[in-house]
Structure 1
Amino acid sequence: MCGIVGAVSQRNVVPMLIEGLRRLEYRGYDSCGIAVHRTGKPRRARCTARVNSLARTISDIHLEGSLGIAHTRWATHGAPATMNAHPIFSRDLIAIVHNGIIENHESLKAMLVEQGYEFQTETDTEVIAHLVHSFYDGDLLSAVMRSTHMFRGTYAIAAFSNSEPGRMVGAREGSPLVAGIGETETFLASDALALAGYTNRFVFLEDGDVVDLKPGQVTVWDRDRRSVERPNRLIEQSLEDTSLGSFSHYMQKEIFEQPLAITNTLANVASLGSSIFEDADRSTFENVDKVLLLGCGTSHHAGLVARQWFESVARVPAQAEIASEFRYREQCHDPRTLVVPVSQSGETADTLAALKYAQAMGLDNTLAIGNVANSAMMRAARSRFQTRAGVEIGVASSKAFTTQLVALFLLAATLGRVRGTLSSQQETSYLQQLHKLPVACRAVLAKEPQVIAWANEISTRESAFYLGRGVHFPIAMEGALKLKEIAYIHAEAYAAGELKHGPLALVTPDTPAVVSAPNDALLDKLKSNMQEVRARGGQLFVITDNGAGIPSGSGTRTLETGAHFGLLSPILHVLPMQLLAYHSGCARHTDIDKPRNLAKSVTVE
């Protein structure tokens, strides 16, 4: 869960590396650093502050070079300390940056200590640097190839040798790495976003690949060390997507971008059918007896909502699994299962591993839903749907979540249409509702002042409940997750009917309960659950619909989202919860876009 940037050029690459780190800082911000090739020995600058602080240090020491690697870190092995910050050197010859975890680093370290290597850090990355050095005989490519055969785990690495000017070598296994190609320079990065404005030609490396970069030249070898041609992809990226504009934080900006993100996701959807999904056909949907949804965190919550859509709209059993747990228990697989991995980045290590596990079990009908077209998950699945949320920089997902829900609803409705459980009239109705969503979202987001008033109260508390029933219970789970992530307030979500089975013991006048209360068939039961909270002195903050009959009063505050939006109402109800977490975090002066201990793209298990 780190950001890597590297460049080989004939000009000073340090300004580009700094800018690349700024764009990747959301991937890790415990520490950062840059190393450049210099005559004599490489030079580097590292710190445990943010990238802007590193930039000032680099300016003060006049660090320059035409070959360099840079890194922003989310700590796994070793505390966030300058000595553990990357790049890491071996004997002032080999420089390495690394994303991932080398699981057998202890045995490799013992071997290297016997060879006389001294370790200066607490990281598994230092093993990589010394191992490459131990194999180095003047050819960096050969040394990296020999080293990677000894690794067990996941990695993306970029390396240079100070005795080989104008050359950088990279490798990947289970962690993203992309090469960029310019006219007279080449690049490596964890994400093509880091290289926007410097090149639009990219080579997306596959697991097991090793890449050799020289100015204007990229050569790739596969796992068997055969030279291979990976396709060059032209990708145009707008830097405007990464500007804050008039917003205070990226999270706030991205919350308010949701109407546009939904509009873009639905831009080419005029009817239901396999044509909505890339590389899908009728067989993708006709031979399905079960749907398996794989995701982590927010994406798992999207799967929990969609599970009920698949069962109510398509009339097909659905199972939503936490991807990090899925492959570690005995499975009973139905070969007629549609496997749907869901990930914002498409590089989430646990979700990728779960997808590969499902494929290894013979579940070949896979359809990925992600926001990055060329991500590993999207490439690995047989068919796919790209959400059009645009770049999401805030660590806490907002617009990626709601566009995932839109995509999953489209998938459930298409499956129902192909299977004959959804009539043409219902199809028309659902499509009309989907295309009305952006306007409905804008109306809900206009309630921000009311949410700010709620946040001023809830931000003073240290614990909160989130309640929902049916398809809105996963929305309560998502709301609680956001409050924990952004405001650092302990929050637990419960299916409201479960309160009396234990959690009521914790309800006091200091315990706010945020409730998703749509005007649906479960409303009367939910009202009874809310009364259970009020009878114990708990304070209610209720997100509801027009006509639900839940007035504001003593101990109850109500926010109406508008007319009930049927099966799609979870998308509207989650918006105030996102705003509530955001403004509670602001009131508590937390680091909104970079919450402590978290990173955006979770590329380690």
Structure 2
Amino acid sequence: MRHFKILVLRAMACDNDASNHPSLMVTEAAESPERCEAQIAANAELMRDLGARLRKIDPPFVATLARGSSDQAAAFAKAVLETHGGPPTLSHAPSIGSIYGTTSPKFRDVPLIVISQSGRSPDLIAAAEDARRRGAIVIAIVNDVESPLAALSEYVIPVHAGPERSVAATKSFVCTLTAIAHLAAEWTGDPLLLAALNDIGDVLRKAGQADWGAAAPLLAGTRDMLVLGRGLTLSIAGEAALKFKEAAGLHAEAFSIVEVAHGPMTLVGGDDAVLVIGPIDQARAGLADRLADFHRRGSRIIASGMDEDIALADFKLPSATACHPVLSAIASILSFYPLANRIALMRQRDPDRPPHLSKVTRTL
């Protein structure tokens, strides 16, 4: 590991105060604890009523509709609903409705959860309209309740994130995950998750203080990397990989801790970097063995999770392990944002204004 230590020392020597610059990406993310606390209180009656209706309908399945970071939130919804006894959850591709206009008639009386921070993406609006014509129950999870998507939906769940100026979504993503967890708790009638959400503010405040940015010198010179998760943290890994690309210009791909062994494992060797966002529930099974595989190859392992699972990591990230697994997963992305921000600045990029991107993505 001598070469690894030299690499770290060189990266740290290149680091400076500028790499800790408080961008909008980070300052807006820091608002998440208070925003999520307020959201839980403001949406309490709405979530109770909607959860009761969805239990009464008892649909055979539920679908999600989203793109970008919101699609990672949709994957989180699948994980939360299915691990808490909810209905099978599938991803409905926007193009099926927006381009082909062939949304299945089997969507009648099926909830379609449409997730969009702006509520103004043309393809999502067109796909949601097509699904509603087919009889789907359209539920919009949005930050802008005055948006066209909100107007066409039967139910609107506000995430209450407030204005977000950075192109990279942070607090709106955290607030969306919180809204999804709240909906799942009421829908599945899970008293433990519902009670845990009362602590969301405290959990997120601790996560914000557990700044993962200290790991940045280990990754600043990396050209590409794997980001691993499983279960509730797989979508968090997906969002982290997306933010690495979007904000820092770092090529990162997310894989399941299990699925990475079915091919991608062959690409990882000595001094390659692996970021692991470890789950703290049953999905942690086999994590220690997987890290042992990477360790034997001399890979650089930066990991969060239970201490016994990440004992072989070269850099252990502080983790929210003394809370509900759903909250732990949400907390991990808030801890991650300063890491992406710091790497972006070390690579001479503006995390608030990624090239070729805008706040509202207009696709068809």
Bin of the TM-score, shorter chain as denominator length = 0.7 to 0.9
Q: Equivalents in 2 of 1:457, 1:326: separation in Å? A: 44
Residue pair 1:288, 1:336 contacting (<8 A) in 2 also: no
Q: Equivalents in 1 of 2:295, 2:95: separation in Å? A: 37
User: Structure 2 residue aligned with 1:309, among 67, 77, 80?
Assistant: 80
Deviation string 1:214-251 (CA, Å, 9 cap, x unpaired) is: xxxxxxxxxxxxxxxxxxxxxxxxxxxxxxxx973211
Distance 1:514 1:324, change over 3 A: farther
Query: Deviation of residue 311 (structure 1)?
Result: 2.2
What's the counterpart of residue 476 of structure 1?
237
Count matched residues: 342
Query: Deviation of residue 576 (structure 1)?
Result: 2.5
Query: Deviation of residue 445 (structure 1)?
Result: 1.3
Q: Secondary structure at the match of 2:64?
A: strand
What's the counterpart of residue 319 of structure 1?
90
User: Structure 2 residue aligned with 1:557, among 313, 316, 340?
Assistant: 316
What's the counterpart of residue 168 of structure 1?
none
Deviation string 1:152-197 (CA, Å, 9 cap, x unpaired) is: xxxxxxxxxxxxxxxxxxxxxxxxxxxxxxxxxxxxxxxxxxxxxx
What's the counterpart of residue 196 of structure 2?
433
Q: Secondary structure at the match of 1:471?
A: helix
Higher strand proportion (structure 1 or 2) = 1
Q: Secondary structure at the match of 1:369?
A: strand
- Give the greater-gyration-radius structure (CA): 1
Residue pair 1:247, 1:253 contacting (<8 A) in 2 also: no
Q: Equivalents in 2 of 1:282, 1:430: separation in Å? A: 16
Q: Equivalents in 2 of 1:585, 1:316: separation in Å? A: 39
Residue pair 1:483, 1:580 contacting (<8 A) in 2 also: no
What's the counterpart of residue 576 of structure 1?
335
Deviation string 1:405-453 (CA, Å, 9 cap, x unpaired) is: 111122222222xxxxx3xxx42x32321121111111121122xx222
- Stretches of structure 1 that go unaligned for 5 or more consecutive residues are 1-245, 417-421
Confirm or deny that 1:300 pairs with 2:61: no
Counterparts of 1:108-119 in structure 2 under 5 Å? none
Identity of aligned residues (%): 26
- Stretches of structure 2 that go unaligned for 5 or more consecutive residues are 1-19
Residue pair 1:507, 1:537 contacting (<8 A) in 2 also: no
Q: Equivalents in 2 of 1:510, 1:456: separation in Å? A: 14
Amino acid aligned to 2:66: G
Query: Deviation of residue 271 (structure 1)?
Result: 6.5
Q: Secondary structure at the match of 2:112?
A: strand
Higher helix proportion (structure 1 or 2) = 2
Residue pair 1:368, 1:378 contacting (<8 A) in 2 also: yes
Residue pair 2:304, 2:310 contacting (<8 A) in 1 also: no
Q: Equivalents in 1 of 2:193, 2:284: separation in Å? A: 22
Distance 1:293 1:476, change over 3 A: same
Distance 1:511 1:323, change over 3 A: farther
Q: Secondary structure at the match of 2:163?
A: coil
Q: Secondary structure at the match of 1:267?
A: helix
Amino acid aligned to 2:25: M
Q: Secondary structure at the match of 1:600?
A: coil
Query: Relative contact order: is structure 1 or structure 2 higher (C-alpha 8 Å, sep ≥ 6)?
Result: 2
Residue pair 2:97, 2:126 contacting (<8 A) in 1 also: no
What's the counterpart of residue 171 of structure 2?
399
Distance 1:533 1:552, change over 3 A: closer
Query: Deviation of residue 509 (structure 1)?
Result: 2.6
Report the TM-score when normalising by structure 1: 0.53
Q: How big is the alpha-carbon RMSD for the aligned residues of Structure 1 and Structure 2?
A: 2.3
Q: Equivalents in 2 of 1:322, 1:531: separation in Å? A: 37
Query: Deviation of residue 501 (structure 1)?
Result: 1.6
What's the counterpart of residue 256 of structure 1?
30
Distance 1:391 1:255, change over 3 A: same
Confirm or deny that 1:599 pairs with 2:358: yes
Amino acid aligned to 2:147: S
Confirm or deny that 1:378 pairs with 2:137: no
Query: Deviation of residue 269 (structure 1)?
Result: 4.8
What's the counterpart of residue 132 of structure 1?
none
Q: Equivalents in 1 of 2:335, 2:77: separation in Å? A: 20
